[in-house]
Amino acid sequence: MFKRLSPPEATNEAVVTFRFDEQTVTARPGDTVAAALLTSGISICRSTPVSNTPRAPYCMMGVCFECLVEVDGNPNVQACQVEVRDGMHVHTQQGARRLTS
């Protein structure tokens, strides 16, 4: 389990809130989506196309593609490469990567 040394609310720092599936997640400005999810106790961000096995962020630097999510309607987004924004909507990506136009 990932844990912050001190949550943003405890230090009076600015916070960013966004939605992940049906949950509201709080993060610090500059956090990536993957870091915000992990520190909020959310580890599953996608499922595999063949066995539907849950997957979680792994490398945290954009190499492995295990953290694919849908952000504001755009599929195949690497959660470890995108900074959180106030009001963004992130959804678990189910199954195979979809080609975008």
pLDDT tens string, the chain, 101 residues long: the values are 677 776 656 667 789 999 999 999 999 999 999 999 999 999 999 998 888 899 999 999 999 999 999 999 999 999 999 999 999 999 999 876 666 65
Cβ–Cβ < 8 Å for 92, 45: yes
Domain for residue 64, yes or no?
yes
Domain for residue 85, yes or no?
yes
Domain count, the chain: 1
pLDDT value, residue 97: 60
Q: Output the six-digit token pair for 11.
A: 């230090």
Domain for residue 4, yes or no?
no
Strand-strand pairing, 89-92 and 68-71: antiparallel
pLDDT value, residue 100: 60
pLDDT value, residue 39: 92
- Domain with residue 74: its CATH number is 3.10.20.440
pLDDT value, residue 50: 86
Domain for residue 99, yes or no?
no
Domain region containing 39: 16-92
Domain for residue 87, yes or no?
yes
